Amino acid sequence: MFRLCLFTSIVMLTILPAQSLFSQSLGDFREEINIYNTLYDAPLHLVGGADVSLHELAKDKPIILALVFSRCSGVCNPLVLELKENLRMLNLQQELPYSVLVLSFDPWDKIEDMQYMAERFNLTNEPDWYFGVTDSINQVINSVGFKPIWDEKKKQFDHDALLAGVSTKGKMTKKLLGLRNSKDLRMLVQSINKVFIPSYRLPTNTSIFTCFNYDPETGKIVPGTGLLIIIMPVLITWLTVIGIRMAVRKKTT
């Protein structure tokens, strides 16, 4: 028995340091603000000349909304670039359709600025990608719960990198703050396609022995190290039973 306890302890102690902390998504509780609100149905001017409202655009395919401004020297460029790369890598369009709307939140931006931006990213002829501006940007960012602050010294907006998922009915289903990996992006695309994710782990939960992890790469729940601890007692029991039998047989023969 004592040997057994010792064995258990050793197994656990070796698992402990070997574990690296799971990489946590950067999101925090602010991502919950205004979830499931209907976004303001703003009239949009899109690069290429089309005038359409936000809800009309979402009707065909749900939207990934990226809020940027053209003179941004900070996070906007990496945000759009990463979005482009990640979406290409995930290749979800067949299974979970979406379109991408890159919308300027800077009232000074003109449609030409956005046209230039689209060209810079080489996205002008990409289907499902829209660049645009709107006259009612304040209503849009209010309904998203997005608060850029103008910094007079730097002549720049101080703002979060933000992606928002918009369903075909114009509702915001998920937000991602900061530059995020493809796994989180997949979860966002799932949410606008009405895939119900009944629960998730909070980013503050950094325990190393979790039972399950949600893997958005495949959309499945995968076993975590904690599951091993649940299965282990049964394995140890059977090893003990077999071990005992082998030991007593040796003694009797």
Partner 1 sequence: MQSLLLYLFLILTVVSTSVFIYVYRSSIKAGDKDGGLTNVLTKRMWFILILFVVLAIFFSATVPKSPYFMFKDEIPSKSVNVTAGQYFFYMSYSAINPDAPTSEPIELGVNELVEFRVTSRDVTHTFAVYDENNQVVAQTQAMPGYVNNLRWKFEKPGTYKIFCLEYCGAGHHIMRGSFTVK
Partner 2 sequence: MENKFKKITSLWIITVLILFVVAIILGLLMRFNQGGNIKLDPVTFYTDMTIHGLTMIGIWFVAGMAAVNYIMERYVRTSYKANLIAYIMTVVGVLMLWGAGFIGKFHAGWTFLYPLPFKIMWEQWATPLFLYALLVLGVGWTIWTVSLMISLLKKYTLSQVFAWQHFKRDAKPEVETPPFVLISMISLVGVLSCLITAAALDFLLLTEYYSNGGFINDALLMKNLTYFFGHTLANEMLYLGLAVIYELFSEVSGRPKWKTSWYVAYAWNLTLFFVLFAFLHHMYMDFVQPETLQIIGQLASYLASIPSTGVTIFSILVAVYGTKINWNLANLMFFIGTAGWVSGGIGAVIDATISNNFLLHNTLWVPAHFHTYNALGNVLFSLGFFYWFSFQLKDGIIKDKHSMLKILLIVIGGIGFLAAFYFAGADSVARRYANYPEEMASGKFWATFGGTFATIYLLGIILFIGGILKRCFGFVFSRV
- Using the rule CB under 8 A, which residue among 18, 91, 234, 253 binds partner 2? 234
Print the binding letters for residues 10-49 with partner 2: x by CB under 8 A, - otherwise: --x-------------------------------------
Positions that interact with partner 1 (CB under 8 A): 29-36, 145, 167, 169, 171, 173, 194, 196-202, 204-205, 207
- Using the rule CB under 8 A, which residue among 10, 50, 195, 248 binds partner 2? 248
Give the binding-site size for partner 2 (rule: CB under 8 A). 36
In the complex with partner 1, the residue whose CB is nearer, 32 or 151, is: 32
DSSP output for 59-75: HHS-EEEEEE-TT--SS
Whether 20 and 205 have beta carbons less than 8 Å apart is answered as: no
Per-residue three-class SS string for 4-39: HHHHHHHHHHHHHHHCCCCCCCCCCHHHHCCCCCEC
Whether 228 and 212 have beta carbons less than 8 Å apart is answered as: no
| 177: Cα separation from own chain's centroid | 9
194 binds partner 2 (CB under 8 A): no
- CA angle, 147 then 76 then 163, to 5°: 60
Whether 185 and 168 have beta carbons less than 8 Å apart is answered as: no
In the complex with partner 2, the residue whose CB is nearer, 155 or 249, is: 249
- C-alpha to C-alpha distance for 67 and 63, rounded to whole angstroms: 12
**Start-to-end CA span in the chain (Å):** 24
- CA angle, 80 then 86 then 90, to 5°: 145
Q: Which residue has the tokens 């039973």?
A: 241
89 binds partner 2 (CB under 8 A): no
In the complex with partner 2, the residue whose CB is nearer, 1 or 18, is: 1
- Using the rule CB under 8 A, which residue among 5, 61, 106, 193 binds partner 2? 5
- According to DSSP, the residues that pair with 45 across neighbouring strands are 51, 133
Residue 239 contact partner, candidates partner 1, partner 2, none, CB within 5 to 8 A by sort of partner: none
In the complex with partner 1, the residue whose CB is nearer, 150 or 200, is: 200
The one segment of 52-60, 81-89, 136-144, 209-217 that binds partner 2 by CB under 8 A: 209-217
In the complex with partner 2, the residue whose CB is nearer, 138 or 240, is: 240
Residues engaged in binding partner 2 (CB under 8 A): 1, 4-5, 8-9, 12, 198-201, 205-212, 221, 226, 229-230, 232-234, 236-238, 240-242, 244-245, 248-249, 252
